[in-house]
Structure 1
Amino acid sequence: MEHNRLTDLSESLCTGLRTPTELISEVWTNIARCEARKRIFTVEMEADSRKKAEASFFRYRSGKPLSPLDGLPIAIKDNMDVRGYPTSNGLKTAAEPASHSAEIVLKLEQLGMIVVGKTNLSEIAFTGLGVNPHYGTPPNTVDAAKVPGGSTSGGAAAVGLGLVPVALGTDTGGSIRTPAAWNNLYGIKYTQNAFSSRGVTPLSPFLDAIGFLARHLDDLALVDAALQASDKTRDAEPSDSPLTILIPSHYFFDGMSPDFKEDFDQLTKEMAQQGATVIRQNLPEIDAIARVLGQYGNPVGYEAAANFPALIDDENGLSRAVSDRLASGRAIRDASYQHAIEEIDRIRTRFLAYFDEVSCVLTPTVLSVPPSLTSVQTDLATYQQENARSLHNTRMFNLLNLPTLAMPVPNKSHFSLSISTRPFSETALFSQAKKLEALISQCPITQKPPNGPTNG
């Protein structure tokens, strides 16, 4: 099944060329061969997944599949409840099996998707590097010497290695999009509250969002379409507007590696030559949010400390790098937190005016290639510095509450574009992303032979 498209797998099940039981058997054959499986999966659900594949087989045989996703495998980040299994949240502390599945997991299962396991993550989903000292760090699937990105590190590894075609994760400041970028994957962060968070361990209720990782844009779109068909609360209208791209002229390039900056400038220049309208503009709202964070502190730190107070001083519960972040969040005063979220809400409202003139906002997803795993494991200062860099660009779109999709650039390992639209317009986001994908495939810079690993 390695690297098969979800769309192709769906078609093969619908046409009878393959059965769900055959597909799940292939999944487990691949997982059994994977040397890194114990660093990728915290929980494996082989018996349950085979039983659910049999039920899917009979639905197809009777001509009554639940959706185009029926019988397709998915991996679930282990900060989400799955009935009958403990939720580790990246920690080794014992947990009771969940009595109910998270609502988003239930939605996927009601569409017929088959959960094969729960995936490893950064401790309490609170770093962008993907390092986990308890279960081991999932591999970066492009360069094994690098960090995988986090916190949805196990999901990215499972997809990148072809163990599953799609993985479900969460994103509070870049936890889907950073590992997507560093593993040459597509990753989407939905608008906050696009899906219920029931059954998802909270890190920052103000910023937490749900999303998915896949190797292909059409695969994410297939999952989105099935979820949209079962939930009419979101904007279902695709965008037929021309591709008018807004590129902020600052912030997202601060500290960027020269290679990434050169590639981004050249790519956007070629996109304009291919017919896209590209507008570069100073966006004062970005500076305003940065000032709010500098003055009051980041709401995610405050909320994380409030959600995990017992872990702050638990020397055996968390690594030093994460416990230090929690301690910093505890230092934020209640009044400062309240001022921060009120100011950010006002800035969010002002920012929406840009979408009256443009179809999307485009930035680089990350500032540079991932750091080496050894460097962040052996030096705390390097860890903290690289963690801040890993989330520098992505966190801004959580703070603005914009649905955002990370898109790999062909033949440019770890180099990824970030495309955002107005809140709750995920259908339009996919429309714009497909136009952008077609556009960049025609740009000369993406045709150059790569110097290293490619997007595959």
Structure 2
Amino acid sequence: MTQTHLGKSIAQLSVLIQSGSLDPVTLVEESLDAIRTHKDQAIFTRLLEERAREEATASSRRLREGRSRGLLDGIPVAWKDLFAIRGLPTTAGSIVLADAAPAQEDADVVKALKAAGMVAIGRVNMSEFAFSGLGLNPHYGTPLNPRATDVGRIPGGSSSGSAVAVASGLVPVSIGTDTGGSVRIPSAFNGLVGYKASRGRYSMAGVFPLATSLDSLGPLCRSVQDAVWVDAAMRGRAAPDIIRANPAGLSVVVPTTVVMDDAEDGVAEAFEATLVRLSAAGVKVRRAAFPAFDSLFQVMAEHGPLVTAEAFALHHRRLAGPEAEAMDRRVVARTRLGEKITLVGYLEILQVREQLIKDVAGMIGPNEFIAYPTVAHVAPALAPLEEDDELFVKVNFKTLRNTLIGNFLDWCGVSLPCGTGSAGMPVGFLLSAPKEQDERLLGAALALEDIVAKLV
């Protein structure tokens, strides 16, 4: 894009498009040109130039004829490389699927956003098979965090390209998936808004899975309003129906268990400062222990992670054959751990999960939200993680620790930028709610965004 449109939100671009001040064709050409000439060529794995031009031209025609499809008509969107795009193989950040059969049709959510008038610009990079919270990819390169000013830093994963594409101003929104934090982590690391919807809120048809008991979707974007608009379109709604809450009527509970363990000083300071601002705005804040968090990690230590069991079930044939040699060694090693998880162990994990969801629900007030740092540290340097597999495993677990709690307990969540920590890197404030309370969560996030969010 030209400087005029770089970094603009969906809402800002929509005003220009709907008023006739900006033609969707012009916007798409600026976006494509910016992507092609960007210094980081690891962000996108594939541009959809022909499709994008066709969709932008159709949008332009509708707008001229007074047939706008709504707020999102003509807005560019990037898709994580595991959403089916008609005519292309779905490669999921891997080279072993490069020769897979092309998709016969778009994923359902791709169809939904096309129906709303959005323009598919391209596919963005990701951790291979979505199995890492760091965002490294040895096949297509690792997109660098554009917020870093000192050394090359990781983007966060697995929706790495999604976050970097938006943070770099190449597109106003990208759609990612979140199985253990893959929308919220890269959003936090890049100073963006990341909304992980409740599991099942959107159709998963045409989305390459990781662990179906945990997989969810959501947008990475520049504002909660943008997320609300995209959420409506992904559900086939003509317009959003989220009602902005009153901050003075909101309550949050801050867990004192696990989530602040080994938190960097800068992260803790930014989070605590945010709580002070919220309290000053009338938000009720209380702190409480959540023993269920300890139980969650205990069952993982005893039987293994749920995500690992389901990922192994999905990929076990691939891991037993020659394809494993062409996969990221770290993904292979982590996935193979699932072989050790017995059927009895897997069923016990599911049973414990069901009980913990009930236990935690009883600790949260009917009008309360859960709040804690999205990640306990800022985006670390890339080079040491590429060189040291043991360090990779350690940092990957810590990076995923806070967010995976929400996946295991079936929450929805929004990560908001709330300040900066070490090296001036963004810190994320994670606001969560129990499953299927997305409307209430988004309404609260709309109300609190200006209090919480500090874009960098």
For the superposition of Structure 1 and Structure 2, which TM-score range results when normalised by the shorter chain?
A: over 0.9
Partner SS, residue 269 of structure 2: helix
Match of 2:392 among 353, 378, 383: 383
Partner SS, residue 260 of structure 1: helix
Unaligned runs of 5+ in 1: 447-454
Match of 1:74 among 77, 80, 83: 77
Q: 1:101 aligns to what?
A: 106
Q: 1:57 aligns to what?
A: 60
Match of 2:427 among 393, 405, 415: 415
Q: 2:13 aligns to what?
A: 9
Match of 1:317 among 307, 316, 326: 326
Runs of 4+ residues over 6 Å off in structure 1: none
Partner SS, residue 230 of structure 1: coil
Alpha-carbon distance in structure 2 between the residues aligned to 1:428 and 1:364: 20
Deviations 1:367-393 (A, max 9, x none): 112221110100110111111111010
The amino acid that maps onto 1:205 is T
| 1:269 is aligned to 2:276 | yes
The amino acid that maps onto 2:430 is S
| 1:23 is aligned to 2:23 | no
Match of 1:139 among 122, 140, 144: 144
How far off its partner does 1:357 sit? 4.2
How far off its partner does 1:20 sit? 1.2
Unaligned runs of 5+ in 2: none
Would the aligned equivalents of 1:40 and 1:119 in 2 still touch at CA under 8 Å? yes
Percent identity over the alignment is: 32
How far off its partner does 1:220 sit? 1.3
Match of 2:211 among 199, 204, 219: 204
The amino acid that maps onto 2:48 is M
Q: 2:335 aligns to what?
A: 326
Alpha-carbon distance in structure 1 between the residues aligned to 2:236 and 2:108: 16
> RMSD in angstroms over aligned alpha carbons?
2.0
Would the aligned equivalents of 2:309 and 2:341 in 1 still touch at CA under 8 Å? yes
Alpha-carbon distance in structure 2 between the residues aligned to 1:211 and 1:270: 27
Match of 1:230 among 234, 237, 248: 237
Alpha-carbon distance in structure 2 between the residues aligned to 1:104 and 1:270: 37
Alpha-carbon distance in structure 1 between the residues aligned to 2:237 and 2:270: 40
Alpha-carbon distance in structure 1 between the residues aligned to 2:211 and 2:265: 33
Distance change in 2, residues 1:202/1:86 (3 Å): same
Deviations 1:431-452 (A, max 9, x none): 21122223336xxxx6xxxxxx
Would the aligned equivalents of 1:243 and 1:435 in 2 still touch at CA under 8 Å? no
Would the aligned equivalents of 1:177 and 1:394 in 2 still touch at CA under 8 Å? yes
How far off its partner does 1:81 sit? 0.5
Deviations 1:48-80 (A, max 9, x none): 100111111111112112221111100000011
Q: 1:337 aligns to what?
A: 346
Would the aligned equivalents of 1:13 and 1:20 in 2 still touch at CA under 8 Å? yes
Q: 1:187 aligns to what?
A: 194
User: TM-score with structure 1 length normalisation?
Assistant: 0.92
Q: 1:153 aligns to what?
A: 160
The correspondence of residues 295-306 of structure 1 with structure 2, limited to 5 A, is 295-306=302-313
Deviations 1:186-226 (A, max 9, x none): 10111011111111111000000001101222221221244
Would the aligned equivalents of 1:238 and 1:427 in 2 still touch at CA under 8 Å? no
The amino acid that maps onto 1:130 is G
Alpha-carbon distance in structure 2 between the residues aligned to 1:81 and 1:430: 27
Partner SS, residue 402 of structure 2: coil
Would the aligned equivalents of 1:81 and 1:102 in 2 still touch at CA under 8 Å? yes
Q: 1:360 aligns to what?
A: 369
Q: 1:85 aligns to what?
A: 88
The correspondence of residues 413-452 of structure 1 with structure 2, limited to 5 A, is 413-440=425-452
Alpha-carbon distance in structure 2 between the residues aligned to 1:440 and 1:79: 32
Alpha-carbon distance in structure 2 between the residues aligned to 1:268 and 1:4: 28
Alpha-carbon distance in structure 1 between the residues aligned to 2:356 and 2:268: 27
| 1:46 is aligned to 2:49 | yes
How far off its partner does 1:124 sit? 0.5
The amino acid that maps onto 2:8 is N
How far off its partner does 1:270 sit? 4.2
Moved more, 299-308 or 356-365: 356-365
The amino acid that maps onto 2:12 is D
Partner SS, residue 138 of structure 1: coil
Would the aligned equivalents of 1:77 and 1:120 in 2 still touch at CA under 8 Å? yes
Q: 1:32 aligns to what?
A: 36
Partner SS, residue 30 of structure 2: helix
Alpha-carbon distance in structure 2 between the residues aligned to 1:416 and 1:110: 32
How far off its partner does 1:356 sit? 3.3
Moved more, 238-247 or 177-186: 238-247
Deviations 1:158-194 (A, max 9, x none): 1011000000010000111111111111101110111
Distance change in 2, residues 1:411/1:259 (3 Å): closer
| 1:279 is aligned to 2:286 | yes
Distance change in 2, residues 1:153/1:99 (3 Å): same
Partner SS, residue 362 of structure 2: helix
The amino acid that maps onto 1:221 is V
The amino acid that maps onto 2:433 is T
Would the aligned equivalents of 1:359 and 1:432 in 2 still touch at CA under 8 Å? no
Q: 1:451 aligns to what?
A: none
